Amino acid sequence: MRAHATRRGYSLDSISRPVRQWDFHDFDLIIGMDDQNITDLKRMAPDLESVDKIHRMTEFSRNKLYDHVPDPYYSGAEGFELVLDLLEDACAGLLEYCRLLQCPS
């Protein structure tokens, strides 16, 4: 993934960590990539307000080609490129969504 991302100008030098229950208090959005992520996050949510913070990354996709972000490890180089395409699209939509949330009504 890092090699594919580097070719697109991204530097993936951070390390992921598991979501923690207090993340639901610290963040406005909790984003999962697929059905299992969403199920696990909902199970972890401390209350109904926290469940409302959970979103699937592809909810923000503008092209709506996939309903989830597939695991690229099973599809070789094409899988990594697909995931980058999906995430670029969804991140642009997420940015638009976040901008709308901060607009005065």
Q: Which CATH number characterizes residue 66's domain?
A: 3.40.50.2300
- Most distant CA pair in the chain: distance in Å? 46
Q: Residue 46 is which amino acid?
A: P
Domain around 23: 2-101
**Bigger pLDDT: 6 or 50?**
50
Contact between residue 5 and residue 14 where contact means Cβ atoms under 8 Å apart: no
Band of the pLDDT at 34, cuts 50, 70, 90? very high
State the pLDDT confidence band at 2, using cuts at 50, 70 and 90: confident
**pLDDT-based confidence at 104, cuts 50/70/90?**
low
In tens, the pLDDT along 55-98 reads: 999 999 999 889 999 988 888 899 999 999 999 999 999 999 99
Q: For the chain, what is the domain count?
A: 1
Cβ-contact 105, 93 below 8 angstroms: no
Q: Are 92 and 66 in contact (CB under 8 A)?
A: no
What are the pLDDT digits (tens) for 85-97?
999 999 999 999 9
